């Protein structure tokens, strides 16, 4: 058995990591200044785009098998 993580394991790790970042950003939003809010929202948008891309890439590789 290989110790190399599968594509699905990598995707799960990436999704969990990005979701943790989003949860942290939401907590910080509650106590942020206007400027910090804009920065946090930008980070959240980027993380969401990254999640979407990770899932799209996984789907393409999975369908291509």
pLDDT along the chain (65 residues), means of 10: 82 95 94 96 96 94 86
Using alpha carbons, select from 58, 29, 57 the residue that is nearest to residue 43.
29
> Residue 4: its pLDDT value, please?
81
Which residue matches tokens 């946090």?
40
Q: Let me know if residue 59 belongs to a domain.
A: yes
Residue 13 in any domain: the answer is: no
Residue 41 inside a domain? The answer is: yes
User: Residue 62 falls within a domain, yes or no?
Assistant: yes
Sign of CA dihedral 4, 56, 46, 29: negative
Structure confidence at residue 1 (pLDDT): 54
Distance between CA atoms of 53 and 49, rounded to whole angstroms? 6
The domain of 45 spans: 33-65
pTM of the model: 0.80
Split into its structural domains, the chain has a count of: 1
Evaluate whether residue 51 is within a structural domain. Answer: yes
* Residue 19: CB atoms within 10 Å: 12
């Amino acid at each position: 058995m290989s110790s190399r993580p599968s594509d699905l394991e990598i995707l799960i790790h990436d999704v969990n990591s990005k979701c943790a970042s989003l949860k942290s950003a939401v907590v910080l939003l509650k106590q942020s200044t206007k400027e910090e809010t804009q920065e946090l929202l930008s980070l959240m948008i980027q993380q969401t785009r990254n999640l979407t891309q990770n899932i799209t890439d996984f789907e393409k590789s999975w369908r291509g098998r």
